[in-house]
């Protein structure tokens, strides 16, 4: 088993697993307690527009996804506050508009898009070194944002109205949190793809919530669960020759199911 660590692609994959687990544990905790799972799903799928744009203009699709993802986060955040439309409708619109523009961009770009499938469903075994550096930078940004505005994010998640009254700039910090979701989406695309991103933003945090009632501990536990889930999924997919992103999601799904049963029995 140890000898596979001699391959560079495997070491990169393990590093990617650790780096994305930090993003998804920290941001995923807020996705779960703030109940913005659907919004985050929208941001993730809208990011596909950025992937397509990257193909079209000939830059790295994952780099093109960064501004696209952040802009769709801001767009969803602002549109969803407009009472006329309703939050879920706004999310649905941007979710599909992002994906549709991605499909059109890719169709318009020259040639064939060989690794398109890996952006949709992830491919942790082919993460190149420069993407690891990008993931590291995204992690630093995410951790910095959460470190600076931790108590505001928790306050807003618990009771937005009271938070506003005591002086938390709710509107801006809501948008900032969605931007952090956007950044973690980009970090996660290489590992599980836009379609499955939301699994990594919800499952580790949902499992962790069973075992703690402290937000900080929930984050740390989510990161640990994320690392274990992605690494386990990675090895199973390598040994069984299965698609890595989907295997990781299934492993985490199994752990979630197991902890739900465990929790129910303890009651």
Partner 1 sequence: MSLAEVLNVWVYYDHSPQLEDVSLVVNDHDFLSIIGPNGAGKTTLLKVILGLIQPAKGSVTVFGSPPKIGRKQIGYVPQDIQFDSAFPISVFDVVLMGRYKGLLSPHSEEDKEVVMDALRTVEMAKFKDRRIGTLSGGEQQRVFLARALVRQPRLLLLDEPTASIDPDARKAFYELLTSLKEKMAILLVTHDISVVSVYVDSVACLNRKLYYHGPAEGALNQLEQVYQCPVEVLAHGIPHRVLRRHTDD
Question: Site residues (CB under 8 A) for partner 1?
Answer: 33, 35, 148-149, 151-152, 154-155, 157-159, 161-169, 209, 212-215, 217-218
State the nearest-atom distance from the C-beta of 210 to partner 1, in Å: 9
State the nearest-atom distance from the C-beta of 89 to partner 1, in Å: 18
User: Do 70 and 47 touch, CB atoms closer than 8 A?
Assistant: no
232, with CB counted inside 10 A (0-12, 13-18, 19+), is middle
State the nearest-atom distance from the C-beta of 158 to partner 1, in Å: 6
Nearer to partner 1, 129 or 217 (CB): 217
State the nearest-atom distance from the C-beta of 33 to partner 1, in Å: 6
Nearer to partner 1, 6 or 161 (CB): 161
Nearer to partner 1, 156 or 187 (CB): 156
Nearer to partner 1, 107 or 263 (CB): 263
Long-range CB contact pairs, 127-130, < 8 A, 24+: 127/9, 127/12, 127/13, 127/16, 127/190, 127/191, 128/12, 129/12
Residues 6+ apart with CB under 8 A from 226: 20, 21, 22, 24, 25, 28, 200, 204
Nearer to partner 1, 131 or 152 (CB): 152
Residues 6+ apart with CB under 8 A from 241: none
State the nearest-atom distance from the C-beta of 170 to partner 1, in Å: 10
């Amino acid at each position: 088993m140890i000898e596979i660590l001699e391959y560079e692609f495997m070491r990169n994959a393990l590093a990617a697993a650790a780096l994305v687990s930090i993003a998804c544990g920290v941001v995923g905790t807020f996705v779960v307690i703030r109940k913005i799972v659907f919004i985050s799903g929208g941001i993730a799928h809208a990011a596909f527009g950025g992937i397509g744009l990257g193909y079209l203009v000939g830059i790295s699709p994952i780099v093109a996804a960064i501004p696209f993802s952040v802009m769709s986060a801001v767009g969803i955040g602002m549109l969803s506050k407009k009472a006329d439309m309703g939050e879920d409708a706004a999310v649905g619109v941007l979710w599909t508009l992002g994906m549709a523009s991605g499909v059109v961009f890719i169709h318009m770009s020259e040639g064939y898009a060989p690794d398109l499938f890996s952006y949709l469903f992830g491919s942790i075994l082919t993460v190149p070194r420069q993407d690891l550096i990008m993931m590291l930078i995204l992690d630093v940004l995410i951790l910095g944002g959460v470190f600076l505005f931790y108590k505001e994010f928790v306050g807003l998640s618990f009771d937005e109205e009271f938070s506003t009254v005591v002086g938390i700039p709710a509107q801006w910090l809501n948008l900032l949190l969605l931007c952090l979701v956007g950044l973690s989406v980009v970090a996660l695309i290489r590992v599980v793809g836009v379609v499955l991103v939301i699994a990594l933003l919800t499952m580790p945090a949902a499992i962790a919530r069973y075992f703690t009632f402290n937000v900080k501990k929930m984050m740390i536990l989510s990161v640990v669960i994320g690392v274990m889930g992605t690494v386990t999924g990675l090895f199973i997919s390598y040994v069984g020759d299965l698609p890595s992103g989907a295997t990781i999601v299934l492993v985490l799904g199994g752990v979630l199911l197991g902890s739900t049963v465990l929790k129910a029995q303890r009651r």
